[in-house]
Amino acid sequence: MTVFWTDEERGVEWTYERLVEELRSRDERRPVVYESDPLEVKLQLLLAVLSREQLTLLDAEFPTETIREIGYDPATVDETTPVSVEIETVDDLRDRLAATPDEWRLDLCTSGTTGTPEPVTQSFEGLTRSVRTGERFTDDVWAFAYNPTHFAGLQVLFQAVLNCNQMVYVFERSPSGIETDIRRHGITHVSATPTFYRLRLCRLESQCETVRRLTSGGERFEPSLRDKLSTLFPNAEFRNVYALTEAGSLLESDGETFRIPDRYTDRMRVDDDGELLIHQSLVTDETTAELNGEWFHTGDLVEFTDEDRFRFVARESDFVNVGGYRVNPHEVERRIADADGVTAATVTARESSVTGNILVAEVVPDPSTDPEAAVAAAEEAVSSLERWKQPRIVEPVEQLAESRSGKRIR
Amino acid sequence: MWYVTEQDTPSTRRERLRRILEDIAADNEEVEPPGELELNTSLTDDLGLDSLDMAEMTVRLEDEYGVDVFADDVVDEVGEVLEKLDR
């Protein structure tokens, strides 16, 4: 019997047989899910797919005020509707998932660019575009390191379930708990945000040799982070994924730079402003994506490192105005995070009635580095930048402020 | 979130402003170290602060006293800054 889900924090472990039994026994499901238990989120999603009914996933981190803003009544989101799922075996489960019709739809919310989450509609094809199945995947064991309602987490779920792989929920675990989980369950695959790698996985105390693949995406992944991870995970290949909630996974790379694959040369391009555009045929969320003619503006700015390879430098909306200058905090953050003695850094805009904004930085010193020395190293790292790009206040902190999703708060 | 860590009197406020200006001068050789602050000392003409230095000073003061000294109008002399903090 293969384990489906392990959550050491909650003392839960289910096999795939138990999952099938549970899905069969349910006679109600929730069309709108606003739920903090990660296993229940998965059950509700699978119930919806198997019954071919639409589902809306709301992030449990959203305050009730946000739930109202996006058009739901917090008092009634838990209402249920009858459901019947007729599967007998684990093979039935996988076969029925694989045969999900094109019409099936999932609504989920992105964090948006204005601060208010924006609903996005996804098809099963979009959710599973990057899923690979076959013999060589049967022994994979996944660390589940995402918020259960986020797009990347859904991709891990389907990759695991369609190959009958175990998932170990590490999203809420401490670094030592993650290390224990990796050894106890022989985790082979980790997929997480760069922030999760920086703040949790980089703090493991010894090498983890069972891990064969590290996948990341969603933010810039600096080379120094990759170097640190290579030491801790000596047998792991690295894969960087560029995915959009509106379009699924689009680009893959083994490092920081990407190239547009041959199959997409007519459907992805970089415009004169350096923004990555994708053709409407790749957009799976046809209801809300903003198209300009046939092209969807991703809002992601890239710079070419050679003729056909580029790296992501910022989201267009990430720019801030400092005294009339357009500044990209990520550029500054990258330099500071690469400084000796600095484990992680965040650079944010602080409103100023004098210059509109100024940049401020928080740095997490390396355990062996004095906080003052880390601040000095951070200041030195940006000393060659224009003055308006230099953070005016640099503070040492024990850890960066982060939301439960592992994304740093800006 | 802001707080004042020491007894809040006109003289401690002036001393705090002096230390902030010292810090700014330490990072920018164009800025004169403040020495003893006179009420009519001009931050720009006498000490040489530019807009970024002024912005930093304002943010640091706001962190400690909860007052944005530039919120309503432009201030330039030490006395004008302290007057804002007195309110």
Q: Which alpha helices (H) appear in A207-315, and where do they start and end?
A: 223-232
Given CB atoms, is A325 within the 8 Å cutoff of chain B? no
Given CB atoms, is A10 within the 8 Å cutoff of chain B? no
Report the distance separating Cα A68 and Cα A77, nearest Å: 10
Q: Is A70 exposed, middle or buried (0-12, 13-18, 19+ CB in 10 A)?
A: middle
**pLDDT digit string (tens) for A180-209?**
999 999 999 999 987 688 768 887 889 999
Q: What pLDDT score does A289 carry? A: 53
State how beta strands A141-144 and A166-169 pair: parallel
Report the distance separating Cα B29 and Cα B49, nearest Å: 10
CB contact under 8 A, B71 and A353: yes
Q: What pLDDT score does A186 carry? A: 98
Neighbours of A146 (CB within 10 A): 25
Distances in Å between the alpha carbon of A358 and those of A315, A347, A362, B51, B74?
19, 10, 14, 10, 17
Which two tokens mark A400?
């960066």
Which residues of chain A are within 8 Å of residue B60 when distances are taken between CB atoms? 393
Distances in Å between the alpha carbon of A85 and those of A93, A165, A341, A350, A403?
10, 22, 55, 52, 36
Q: What's the distance, CA B11 to chain centroid?
A: 13
Write the residue in B52, B59, B70 that is nearest to A388 by C-beta. B52
The conformation of residue A294, written as its DSSP 8-state character, comes to: T
Nearest CA of chain A to the CA of B58: how many Å? Answer: 7
For chain B, residues with pLDDT lower than 50 are 1-3
* Cα–Cα nearest to A34, from A92, A76, A1, A85: A76
Given CB atoms, is A355 within the 8 Å cutoff of chain B? yes
Residue pairs spanning A and B at CB distance below 8 A = 37
Q: What pLDDT score does A199 carry? A: 67
CB contact under 8 A, B70 and A350: no
For chain A, residues with pLDDT lower than 70 are 110-118, 195, 199, 218-220, 285-292, 316-317, 324, 401-410
- Amino acid identity of residue A125, one-letter, is E
CB contact under 8 A, A355 and B68: no
Phi and psi of A159, rounded to 5°?
-60, -45
Q: What pLDDT score does A61 carry? A: 74
Beta strands in B4-53 (DSSP E): none
Nearest CA of chain A to the CA of B81: how many Å? Answer: 14
The conformation of residue A21, written as its DSSP 8-state character, comes to: H
Which residues of chain B are within 8 Å of residue A353 when distances are taken between CB atoms? 58, 68, 70-71
Distances in Å between the alpha carbon of A342 and those of A194, A251, A263, A371, B8?
16, 30, 40, 9, 35
- Amino acid identity of residue A71, one-letter, is G
Q: What pLDDT score does A144 carry? A: 97
Asked if A58 and A109 touch (Cβ cutoff 8 Å), the reply is: yes
Q: What pLDDT score does A407 carry? A: 43
Which residues of chain B are within 8 Å of residue A352 when distances are taken between CB atoms? 55, 58-59, 70
Given CB atoms, is B54 within the 8 Å cutoff of chain A? yes
Asked if A166 and A160 touch (Cβ cutoff 8 Å), the reply is: yes
Q: What pLDDT score does A203 carry? A: 77
Write the residue in A353, A358, A360 that is nearest to B52 by C-beta. A358
Q: What pLDDT score does A187 carry? A: 98
Given CB atoms, is A360 within the 8 Å cutoff of chain B? yes
Nearest CA of chain A to the CA of B25: how many Å? Answer: 12
Q: Any idea of the CA torsion for A334, A338, A216, A176, to the nearest 10 degrees?
A: -130
Mapped onto helix, strand or coil, the DSSP state of residue A258 is: strand
Q: Is the pTM of this model over 0.90?
A: no
3-state percent helix, strand, coil for chain A, nearest multiple of 5: 30, 30, 40
Beta strands in A17-80 (DSSP E): 28-29, 32-34, 55-58
